[in-house]
Amino acid sequence: MKRHRNLVYYLGLFGLMLALWLVSVNAAVAQEAGARGYLKCNIHYQQHGHDAKASYANWTDPGQGHMILPVNTQVGLATFRGGFSIIALPAKKEILFYFDEKNMHMTIEQYQALIISPAPVQLDAFSEQDRKGISEGRAYVGMSKNGVMTALGYPAVHRTPSLDANTWVYWKNRFKSFAVEFGDNGLVSSSGQ
């Protein structure tokens, strides 16, 4: 009987300590994830159970669970060991964003400045074709480079070293890439998406 009471006591103490730890972790994430700005581009991610994951490689069609966090979503940021977290506000939905500084040739902070802005993007400045692609998260013939970047995300530098290039490479998922080709007029001429 005494052994049973000790076990109940220690389990209760463990539960209390766990609850206090979770509250402190959530408070730290909430504080760190204060509003940082608005997304300059769609973030394509994959929802798998409770986890939501995205990548600097963009994963524009990763399969089941593909979701898009749209341009102009107000976000906060937090850290995790594989990159950073994008926290969609006000719901505080966390998306783990995998980032490789070596492949991107920039720091996480430099990359975040490319995808987050202090003010919302003025979508009415885009063409009708751009707005269609942005709303659907796709690259369509006739879209501008800014429209494609807003629809698909900033292209990974190790495959698209210059935004002046007429070919931008994106990934559908972890294994398949595709090219978006731009004509001399700067508009999409073909997309393997």
- Domain check: are 51 and 94 in the same one? yes
Strand-pair partners of 37: 75
Region for residue 58 given its phi and psi (left: phi exceeds 0; alpha: psi -120 to 50; beta: otherwise) = left
**Residue 125 to residue 146: CA distance in whole angstroms:** 11
- Domain check: are 138 and 175 in the same one? yes
**What range does the domain containing 26 cover?**
1-32
Residue 157's nearest CA partner among 90, 120, 106 is 106
The answer to whether residue 176 scores a pLDDT higher than 70 is: yes
The answer to whether residue 94 scores a pLDDT higher than 60 is: yes
When pLDDT is averaged across residues 166-175 and rounded to a whole number, the result is 95
**Residue 131 to residue 95: CA distance in whole angstroms:** 24
Residue 156 and residue 58 in contact, taking contact as beta carbons nearer than 8 Å: yes
Domain count, the chain: 3
Residue bearing tokens 């090219």: 179
* Confidence at residue 34, expressed as pLDDT on a 0 to 100 scale: 63
